[in-house]
Structure 1
Amino acid sequence: MTAALPKAGAVPVASMKRRRRAPGWLAVLPLLVFTALAFGLPALAMFNGAFTVKAQTTGATSYSLSNLTTSLHGAYLTALLGSVKLSAVSAAIAAVLGLSLAQAVVTSRFRALREAVLTASGVLANFGGVPLAFAFVATLGNSGVLTRHLGLAEHGWDLYSFWGLIIVYLYFLIPLMVLTITPALEGLRSHWREAARNNGATTLQYWRHVALPVLAPSLLGGLVLLFGSAFAAYATAAAMVGSSVPLVTLQIADAISGNVLVGQENVALALSLDMVLVAGLVMAMYLPLQRRSARWLA
């Protein structure tokens, strides 16, 4: 028997598939180039500077781990741990409160209320920086309106502290959690609740054994997003607390501007690299769970 020969002019299937995929790659190419220029080059510059040491006498540069070692000791380590603690606590509180608010919005029969809350959340989630700090200082500062009228200072209230900064962060973290978790709550199937009820499950048991396991990856994703937003926040903390609350973003700003020691710019890059590593570690734990959530809510 002789093998069947392709007809004249016939195009192999693999070649046709490659031709179909080629325009898709060409369409994505501008985005890849932009991403490489906007994110890749700064990342390479940060990595290079974090490992570069400049001699004070001769000005010669060399590669060393001294910048990273410095960034993990003394005041720099205290600031890094302070940022991690502040971000974790504020993200956890915002996740609980945001989930409760989002559940109330999703189950509400008033469409106008739902749209109003989601619209306000979209605005408040992007309200931060110096204007947010000024608003809280004027309201809850040492001479703030509510502080004087309610006598909060007599009860030990201090806005310029760790817990005061957490309250300020919750102002934009809770709306961000509402926007993040609302689509996941809407993805819960109504027949899941009905099946649990028919089998004698209470509302608490439904949430413990059905809803929360399904929502767990989305909740962790929201926690990651909230943690990253709080971890990278700078202007609000700088305008409010200055150096009274040790934060890594404030240490980076001081090192770049030379407020601590002259010539510490590369230490600031090492601190930035530490922040990237912390964020990467959190994302590495989140991505596998996000795939599981997408499978359940599809």
Structure 2
Amino acid sequence: MTGTLARADVVSAASPKRRRRAPGWLAVVPLLAFIAVAFGVPALAMLNGAFTVKDQATGATSYSTANMTASLDGAYLTALAGSVKLSAVCAFLGALLGLPLAQAVVSSRSRALREAVLTASGVLANFGGVPLAFAFVATLGNAGVLTRRLGLGEKGWNLYSFGGLVLVYLYFLIPLMVLTITPALEGLRTQWREAARNNGATGVQYWRHVALPVLAPSLLGGLVLLFGSAFAAYATAAAMVGSSVPLVTLQIADAISGNVLVGQENVALALSLDMVLVAGAVMAVYLPLQRRSARWLDA
């Protein structure tokens, strides 16, 4: 009788552990299923279409690298290079202008100002597409309010160019940089500045030898994030510049709609795969930098 009770106690003591483990595993299943459906199925369809070639005469399909080869040649390669160039320029300028703005917000003693700037940055970082393009066209376009009032047209200003597109992209990339780098700036310890000052370091020396090395992973991570955001943007450029600035997203839209050649849908999928590969390379750089910067913030 005593042995039976002892075994019952052991079973009752072990069963709660088994009951706690099962719900923890089952809770992940819906997330994995959602990822598989929302991301896995489109990715497989894109991968299959990128390597599928259709004979226009017979309608027969076969697997080949012809679409990938075409996506890296001629106008398609020019568009891919244009997107990379635009994204790199926008990321560099966004980081260069966003860092001092974020530092001014962090060092401000006004809590209301800080909250207002961060709230506005959160809104502006997600403001894009056709409304943003229309706002700039109405303001700085050929017949825009400021263009006519300041005589910018006579001075050579052209919104529908590479430089104009950079200006528009900076409208939402600078606020994004502010949101990205602010937590890292808040992680800078006051003791570090005081220790540098006590050892005779100037403000420039503090930033050069202490602050910037600590912020380097976050800065590089912000650069990568801005690059990815500019690289994937489509609606703003499509509504504002059309085909005057070669971009890979615009080439994908033209290939799908048949504006260039009929039957180029699979080339569009190959271009999309090129974008995925570039985005994957970007994320491969961003994630280690994000983990490294998190160590300083958690310290």
Q: Normalising TM by the smaller chain, what interval?
A: over 0.9
User: Runs of 4 or more off by more than 4 Å in structure 1?
Assistant: 13-19
Give per-residue Cα distances to partners, 1:159-201, cap 9 Å, x unaligned.
0000110000000111111111111111111111111111111
Give RMSD over aligned pairs.
1.8
The whole-number CA distance in structure 2 between the counterparts of 1:235 and 1:294 is 33
Letter in 2 for 1:89: V
Number of aligned residues: 292
Letter in 1 for 2:249: T
Aligned to 1:259: 259
Aligned to 2:48: 48
Aligned to 1:117: 117
Aligned to 1:281: 281
Cα distance, 1:56–1:32 mapped onto 2, change above 3 Å: same
Letter in 2 for 1:77: L
SS at match of 2:201: coil
Cα distance, 1:215–1:29 mapped onto 2, change above 3 Å: same
Query: Residue 264 of structure 1: CA displacement?
Result: 0.3
Cα distance, 1:16–1:194 mapped onto 2, change above 3 Å: farther
Letter in 1 for 2:198: N
The whole-number CA distance in structure 1 between the counterparts of 2:22 and 2:199 is 53
Asked if 1:129 corresponds to 2:137, the answer is: no
Aligned to 1:141: 141
Taking structure 1 as the reference length, the TM-score comes to 0.94
**Native 8 Å contact 2:187 2:296 kept in 1:** no
Letter in 1 for 2:143: S
Query: Residue 97 of structure 1: CA displacement?
Result: 0.8
The whole-number CA distance in structure 2 between the counterparts of 1:282 and 1:203 is 33
More moved, 25-34 vs 272-281: 25-34
Aligned to 2:213: 213
Give per-residue Cα distances to partners, 1:204-233, cap 9 Å, x unaligned.
111111111111111122112111111111
Query: Residue 286 of structure 1: CA displacement?
Result: 2.3
Q: Which consecutive residues of structure 1, in runs of 5 or more, have no partner in the other structure?
A: 1-6
Give per-residue Cα distances to partners, 1:219-254, cap 9 Å, x unaligned.
122112111111111111011111000000000000
Aligned to 1:4: none
Query: Residue 8 of structure 1: CA displacement?
Result: 3.8
Cα distance, 1:108–1:262 mapped onto 2, change above 3 Å: same
Cα distance, 1:70–1:18 mapped onto 2, change above 3 Å: farther
Aligned to 1:85: 85
Aligned to 1:200: 200
Aligned to 2:295: 295
Query: Residue 26 of structure 1: CA displacement?
Result: 1.2
**Native 8 Å contact 2:95 2:223 kept in 1:** yes
Query: Residue 17 of structure 1: CA displacement?
Result: 6.2
The whole-number CA distance in structure 2 between the counterparts of 1:53 and 1:245 is 29
Give per-residue Cα distances to partners, 1:75-119, cap 9 Å, x unaligned.
000000000000110011011111111100000011111111111
